[in-house]
Every structure is written in structure tokens, then in C-alpha cells.
Chains A and B, each alone.
Chain A
């Protein structure tokens, strides 16, 4: 019975998956907000540049982007490659920031003009209107699509294996190569558990915000 060693190996792999997951979130959540401001800018060149960028990032596979980030510097410029985990994070952060930016944009643009105007005629400042009136409405609007995207990210971390980062699927694969199929299913349980916890968390947030309607 190899249950204990397999568990330990999978846990190590899952640890790598979690690092990718959390660090991607930490950087892509704020970066996405900046990108969304770009795509809503009144300055047309910036707006078009940003939207083209988002189109390219969303229009090509994350796997492709990951390979370009990892192999690109060496093959194009003859430079040293990024460390593997760094390459993964660069590709993931950019990719997810693009998706998040569109979610932010829909949330911000979804707040009716009348809400801003009501704040204005009541003599509120721009920042008061943002923090006191619109922010919570935006958050309420974006929680469901963000939950979706973040749960997708959990599973996308497995793409890191294309540049040989030892995340959980890759670890499980090493056992499969030795003739064991169950570590693959076992790895699946890790994802299921993690996504289950995230689902509960997002449901909780949604419930907390259900006292009002937008």
C-alpha cells in the first residue's frame, strides 16, 4: 500500500498549485482593476490599446501564453529564461487580469447613471460617491462572475505542467507512469475539495450581500 507516500507527494504538488493560485490572485485582482480603467478610459488611444490587449489575451490559449513567456526570452532575445514558477505567474497574472478587467468593467458600467447623479445632486464628492454609493453595488454585481473565474483558476493551475512545474497533476502523472491510476482520481479530490470550499465562501459572500437588490 503506497497510500501514505502518494498522499505526501500529492500534497507537495498541491502546495505548488496553491502557490500559483494565491499569487495569481494577489497580483491579477488589482492589475485587472487598472486594466479595466484603461478599457473605460475617455482617452480613445488608451482605450483601444487596452481593449486590443484584452482581446489578444482572451483570444489565445493560456497554455500558449505560458510557453511564450517561458521559451520566448531565450529563443527571441537569447536571454536567460525566467525561473519556471516566475514564468507561470507572469503568464497567469496577465491572463487572469485580462478576464478580471472585463468583469470589473461590466460591474462598474452596470451601475445606473442615476446613482452617480443622485449622489451629485446631494452634494457628495466623487470619492464619497464611489466609496459610499457605487462600490458595494459593483461588488454585489461582480461576485458571481468572479466566483466562476476564480474556480476556473483553481483548475487552470494544472497547465503549469507544460513547462514542467511539479504541480499536483504532474505529480500524480508520475505515479500513473508507474502503473497506478488511482493517484489521478485522488488528485481530482483535492481540486473538488478546494473548489467546494471556494463555493461555500462565495455563497456566503453572496448571502451577506443579499439584503439589498441592484
Chain B
């Protein structure tokens, strides 16, 4: 059973159809990369998965259960949407760390807020908060930042900020972790350290959906690659197929232009 299954997902902004029916699925522990030209709808797809946009039509299923159905059933309350979001984590292109909090607090904050909803929060408050902090420390250690716990975002490099953002997303233990061009705002040197972290997550079988322009990285790290253009999935398959033997001309064109420059 796929951990995530997307069927017929559509999204328009006014008269512009950005997603025209997206289907794909991903098994637990797999990494799926989405490549394609700018404006092809990759980011919108991720935003629909995280309910930052609500898809107009189609379904999103997690662990075999439909959690979102677009169309006339679109009347989900804020609280429901909030709960659905927790299946997913999202790492942004621009990190979006909270500037007034240290690296550690950035990672613990959301967990602390959620913990308040636990029935045993009052009784075990101290213990729970300790667990959250311990978990955050472990995650920051995992992304190689155990020496930066007390640093504020502006004191960190872009690569370090993005690694904090990854730890922050992991802290809530999402079923699927999404990356929206995680290295596009970084120079090549810093890109490497972030990709290394994502690679290590792939080795630990973290289920991931990665929108990226780093073709070599997508080839190395993914189990499946999705090529999108004009709001549809043009071609998908294992990286070997997409990168070495694309079946569709459009895929070939795109990759050739990419390798050419």
C-alpha cells in the first residue's frame, strides 16, 4: 500500500490552470523527485500536498485513507486542515526560519504547541517538554548543527539555516517530508551540505518528495523521478529511465537543454 497516493489533482488560479490532473504514488521509505521547467506546477503541487493551497479536484490519500477530496466536499474546517497537514512536512526554498528564536527553539516550538493538546499535558508537562527538546537536539545533531543550538537564524549561513529547517520539519515526524527546491537560494558550496543531509535521510529510508533543479542529485537520491511540464506529469519512472532513456520527447528536450547549459 502506498504511503501517499495522489489522484487527478487539479488546481487553478482564476482562469489559469496550474495543475491539470496529477497522479502519482509513493511507497514508504521511497524518495520521489519532481523535475521540470519553471512554471510547470511543481511548487503548486507541493503546496497542495501541504494544504497551503486547496486543490480544486482530485484526492490525496495517506496510508490508504483519503484525507482530502477536492471539489464540492471542500468544506474542511481550519482544525481539520491543520490535522491533515501533520502527515506532511515542508522544507521551503527560503528556509522561513522564525528569526526571533534560536535554532533549537525553531525546532521545538511547533512540538511544544502541539503537546498542549495532549490529554496528559498537564500531568506530564515537564517530561513532555524534555522529550521534545531531547528530540530536537538529536535532530540538530543529525544535520550536523549540535554546536549551533543557541544561534539565531541571522547568525547562521544559508546552508545551516536550511539544515535547521530540515530538522524543524522532521521534529513532527511527518509521514512524508516535502522539499521545495531546498537549495535554490544557496550558492554551490552551501548546496552541497544541504544535499548531503537530504541524502542521509534517503539512506535512512525517509519518505520524501523533492522538487529540485539539481539533476545529478535527483538521479542519485531518488527511487522515482517525475517529470512535470504544463501542469501534467509527462513521464515518471526510475531515475535510470528518465535520465538515460526518456521515452517522451519533451523530457529529452528538457534534459538536453539542462545538460547543455
Contact = CB atoms under 8 A, between A and B. Distances in A.
A112 B100 contact: no
B99 interface: yes
B90 interface: yes
B82 interface: yes
A78 interface: no
A123 B110 contact: yes
A8 interface: no
Interface in A73-124: 112, 114-115, 117-124
By CB atoms of chain A within 10 A, which of B89, B96, B169 has the most? B96
Interface stretch (A26-34, A45-53, A125-133, A145-153): A125-133
B103 to A, nearest CB: 12
Interface string A192-214: 00000000000000000001111
Contact of A132 (B78, B83, B109): B109
A193 B85 CA distance: 54
B94 interface: yes
Contacts of A125: 78, 82, 113
Contacts of B113: 123-125, 128, 132
Given A117-B52, A117-B92, A123 B99 contact: no
Contact of B98 (A118, A121, A123, A126): A118
B231 interface: no
A158 interface: no
Nearest to A115: B96
Contact of B90 (A112, A121, A212): A121
Contact of B152 (A120, A121, A128, A212): A212
Contact of A126 (B51, B78, B92): B78
A120 B52 contact: yes
Contacts of B52: 117, 120-121
Nearest to B98: A133
B109 A114 contact: no
A120 B92 contact: no
B82 A115 contact: no
B85 A121 contact: yes
A119 B92 CA distance: 12
A93 B162 CA distance: 45
A192 B171 CA distance: 53
Contacts of B83: 123
A121 B50 contact: yes
Contact of B82 (A123, A137, A211, A213): A123
23 contacts: A114-B92, A114-B96, A115-B96, A118-B92, A118-B96, A118-B98, A120-B50, A120-B51, A121-B88, A121-B89, A122-B109, A122-B168, A122-B169, A123-B83, A123-B113, A123-B172, A124-B113, A125-B78, A125-B113, A126-B78, A137-B99, A140-B100, A214-B99
Q: Which 8 pairs from chain A and chain B are nearest by CB?
A: A122-B110, A114-B96, A118-B96, A213-B154, A121-B90, A212-B100, A212-B99, A123-B86
